Structure 1
């Protein structure tokens, strides 16, 4: 009886915690809006397709291109929190207590975001990750550090023949500055890590330099048709240390590393589409404490496509991104010769409240020191979600792995197979 009473009390505590969280968010009413909404006077639907992060509407892209300056200056602060409950088919002791189905606090973020002057603005995120670092005691330990950051200056020239937006961006993650949010810098789901790439090596454009570097670049957007950007990245140290994670794992790159982005866009009626290409060239020191060694050189080339249909009450978005990376190793062939990443996501939202998404991911590595050996991770993530309020989202995802670190239907040396990593995830996301 005591065991039953204990389990019942524990369940009631979790339910009470969740209900308290939901009640607090619901009590915010119309005054409880994130910084950008307060500034522009628009709701989430104006900037995000179907009101869902991270896909931007044409208006949302214009807001970002013009340096987050549309509207009036207001209090530039917002907060966000994510609670998750993960359950993996076969438990992994290395995952600590995050995979046993218990509803736990996952991440919390503080945002400094909005208009500074008529031509300058900022989007800066500081995030506490409850499971950032391994710990012998509880599986993981928390860490607070810089998340995605983007500081901008922008201006616009408009006449009878030309509409030209030009600007400068300083940011800390290649791709985070992109206005289509189609790059892995923004993820392919609302919950960090929800696509579970596992042990596969990913390209530099697929998060390899996030919160480790600082980039400064210039961009133009001509007649709402052609977008071009050139950015250079350096190690995020010295006065730019505040833009890095600061968890003792600083990546060090050599000199200034170029990034080039070109995109063609077109809008007709309720439809809009984009086709883009990206190139990133990075020279990284394999040992960040020894800058006298040869560097490993990564060349990433990406092509991406996005389509949107936006006509209330229906919203449809489809995004496809493929990245191919070649590696010239300065460490005697200990790295993969090439890495390929393919991600696709389709979403449908009805009345900005009810939605479903289907994501696909495939990351493969061609290993240099193992002949023709191929490793990688591949799978699908279907998701359904509900937004009873524009700043509250509840969702369920199920990630099905076809391959994990090169292993598919056959078991690996540890007796595991890809489907053993299938993950059921329930999340509660809220913002203020």
Structure 2
């Protein structure tokens, strides 16, 4: 595996959708006085706004966050929210399609590592800000496009960077008669899985803020954010009788006319030709309950070195199965999601079946009165290299979280990630006296949208 490919495979988890993949603790710290002032100002503004001053989708539909998001919390969608997305973001009246979002975070790691280029000492900092262009274009076409400023631009140092985040352009229609309810459409997007309406895959993250998936530097499958904002996909989907969902999409390198859909930070992966993605899901709703079980396949041919295409391609085959259950009856909301991804890698240099990666994630959440909530997430990512004597690695742990939503567009929360294993190390076995629990992280966040 080339150095470039190794870098791609160890960039960590994706926390996209409302939050960018490479969000990190960053340099511009705020004093306590500034933070309190900001919070009070935000509360006064939000308390005084009318129905016209809300994020774009809510403004378009005339609904609040509860209509589309389970318990009003991102990223889980309700049946109505899934229908809104499937029909191309076109429900409601055309209106101003602009929204904004900002995230403040404070990370504190049990053992800081100055050699990593930064410390996470609990200082509250401005992490990310996003601009959304989202809503109805025509009666059958709509868009969700996010552009994000990340105050930490990568592994080379502290600097701000603005680039494309998740984007999804759709055209859809619906045929209804006494026997059939058929939704069909096409989508163009820039992250495998971002188009999925159950938001049960890594494209949307498994939590609300950066750090919530806790994977750190573990190698992860392509479906786990490996191609986010580096490719462009075009595909078609159908949803029959609110029971069967099927999709077929092809991905290519996001360059040329599609460059606006990529991050543009100099680390773009280059893939060969058109790479297929297929998705099949079965759904059922009864009373206040709804459930889904689905399978996904992604096949990727990625060049080992984007600057020298003669070195050949590595082949990645990802297969996943996921399950989601929801109970939605005011004042209670319960959501449970389980996703397992198995990836096999055929390296152009190391030979067939040179590596396997398995990713298992589960998350359960409960929200009361759309204000008070708790989640518990589990992650287990393992890497197996098929070479005699090779080191097998893996990262495993838990993330409990508590949050409070005092207003529809403001959320405060705290989460603690406990590592059982980090890159194969569970105790003092790495030769430097370091153990997995040294990476345990306490995260406080303030999220706001307008």
TM-score band w.r.t. shorter chain: over 0.9
CA drift at 1:92: 1.5
Indicate whether 1:390 and 2:401 are aligned.
Answer: no
SS in 2 for 1:140: coil
Q: 2:180 aligns with which of 162, 175, 193?
A: 162
Q: 2:138 aligns with which of 117, 121, 133?
A: 117
CA drift at 1:18: 3.6
User: Which residue does the alignment assign to 1:101?
Assistant: 122
CA drift at 1:379: 0.5
CA drift at 1:76: 0.3
Relative to structure 1, the CA distance from residue 10 to residue 262 in structure 2 (aligned partners, 3 Å threshold; closer, same or farther) is closer
User: Which residue does the alignment assign to 2:320?
Assistant: 302
Conserved in 1, the CA contact under 8 Å of 2:344 and 2:353?
no
User: Which residue does the alignment assign to 2:158?
Assistant: 140
Conserved in 2, the CA contact under 8 Å of 1:85 and 1:98?
no
TM-score by length of 2: 0.91
Q: Which has the higher contact order (CA 8 A, sep 6+)?
A: 2
Tell me, in whole angstroms, the C-alpha distance in 2 between the residues paired with 1:63 and 1:52: 16
Conserved in 2, the CA contact under 8 Å of 1:252 and 1:285?
yes
Conserved in 1, the CA contact under 8 Å of 2:345 and 2:352?
no
CA RMSD of aligned residues (A): 1.6
CA drift at 1:368: 3.0
Indicate whether 1:311 and 2:311 are aligned.
Answer: no
Indicate whether 1:405 and 2:423 are aligned.
Answer: yes
User: Which residue does the alignment assign to 2:113?
Assistant: 92
Output one character per residue of 1:373-396: Cα deviation in whole Å (capped at 9) or x when no partner.
Answer: 320110000000000111000000
Tell me, in whole angstroms, the C-alpha distance in 1 between the residues paired with 2:122 and 2:270: 38
Structure 2: unaligned runs, 5 residues or longer: 1-29
Conserved in 2, the CA contact under 8 Å of 1:393 and 1:429?
yes
Conserved in 1, the CA contact under 8 Å of 2:214 and 2:379?
no
Conserved in 1, the CA contact under 8 Å of 2:242 and 2:284?
yes
Indicate whether 1:352 and 2:370 are aligned.
Answer: yes
Relative to structure 1, the CA distance from residue 15 to residue 98 in structure 2 (aligned partners, 3 Å threshold; closer, same or farther) is farther
Q: 1:223 aligns with which of 241, 266, 271?
A: 241
Q: Which moved more, 1:418-427 or 1:17-26?
A: 17-26
Q: 2:393 aligns with which of 369, 375, 379?
A: 375
User: Which residue does the alignment assign to 2:97?
Assistant: 76
Output one character per residue of 1:154-191: Cα deviation in whole Å (capped at 9) or x when no partner.
Answer: 00010000000000000000000000000000001111
Q: Which moved more, 1:91-100 or 1:264-273?
A: 91-100
Q: 2:440 aligns with which of 410, 422, 431?
A: 422
Indicate whether 1:191 and 2:203 are aligned.
Answer: no
Conserved in 2, the CA contact under 8 Å of 1:133 and 1:142?
no
Output one character per residue of 1:290-319: Cα deviation in whole Å (capped at 9) or x when no partner.
Answer: 112220000000000000000000000000
SS in 2 for 1:369: coil
Q: 1:47 aligns with which of 44, 59, 68?
A: 68
SS in 2 for 1:355: strand
User: Which residue does the alignment assign to 1:6?
Assistant: none
Conserved in 2, the CA contact under 8 Å of 1:132 and 1:140?
yes
Conserved in 1, the CA contact under 8 Å of 2:192 and 2:203?
yes
User: Which residue does the alignment assign to 1:232?
Assistant: 250
1:6-21 counterparts in 2 under 5 A?
10-21=31-42
Tell me, in whole angstroms, the C-alpha distance in 1 between the residues paired with 2:428 and 2:118: 27
Output one character per residue of 1:207-247: Cα deviation in whole Å (capped at 9) or x when no partner.
Answer: 00000000000000000000000000000000000000000
User: Which residue does the alignment assign to 2:57?
Assistant: 36
Tell me, in whole angstroms, the C-alpha distance in 2 between the residues paired with 1:335 and 1:250: 25
CA drift at 1:346: 0.2
Conserved in 1, the CA contact under 8 Å of 2:358 and 2:383?
yes
Aligned residue pairs, count:
421
Relative to structure 1, the CA distance from residue 32 to residue 370 in structure 2 (aligned partners, 3 Å threshold; closer, same or farther) is farther
Tell me, in whole angstroms, the C-alpha distance in 2 between the residues paired with 1:25 and 1:289: 49
SS in 2 for 1:133: coil
CA drift at 1:334: 11
Tell me, in whole angstroms, the C-alpha distance in 2 between the residues paired with 1:10 and 1:192: 21
User: Which residue does the alignment assign to 2:23?
Assistant: none
CA drift at 1:95: 5.0
Tell me, in whole angstroms, the C-alpha distance in 2 between the residues paired with 1:334 and 1:424: 41
CA drift at 1:48: 0.3
Structure 1 runs (4+) deviating above 6 angstroms are: none
Tell me, in whole angstroms, the C-alpha distance in 1 between the residues paired with 2:55 and 2:353: 43
SS in 2 for 1:12: helix
Conserved in 2, the CA contact under 8 Å of 1:400 and 1:423?
yes
Structure 1: unaligned runs, 5 residues or longer: 1-8
Q: 1:62 aligns with which of 83, 86, 96?
A: 83
Conserved in 1, the CA contact under 8 Å of 2:229 and 2:262?
yes
